Structure 1
Amino acid sequence: MANRAHAVILLANSIVKNKHRALHQNVCCHSHSVL
């Protein structure tokens, strides 16, 4: 059970990081296009 929970946590962390990275790229692109 502990291993499964740990895997789920790692998966969730990677998903959050990917979303944050994509969001950051979008913000950068929008700010550059505005400038």
Structure 2
Amino acid sequence: SVRDTLSSQCSVRTVEGVSSWVTVLWVGNTLSWASGRGK
């Protein structure tokens, strides 16, 4: 049904958003950790 399609698209977008946020946070933590070790 249309509702199922919309819900599946919404869940996919949510997963993509969460994964992108996790990637951003992971990169930020890695860079801060590397800069901390470099000092």
Q: Which residues of structure 2 form unaligned runs of 5+?
A: none
Deviations 1:1-35 (A, max 9, x none): 00000000000000000000000000000000000
Q: Which runs of 4+ in 1 moved over 4 A?
A: none
Scaled by the length of structure 2, the TM-score of the pair is: 0.89
Query: What SS does the corresponding residue of 1:32 show, helix, strand or coil?
Result: helix
Kindly indicate whether residue 36 of structure 2 is the aligned counterpart of residue 34 of structure 1. yes
CA RMSD of aligned residues (A): 0.2
Equivalent residue letter for 1:26: G
Q: Which residues of structure 1 form unaligned runs of 5+?
A: none
Would you say how many aligned residue pairs link Structure 1 and Structure 2? Answer: 35
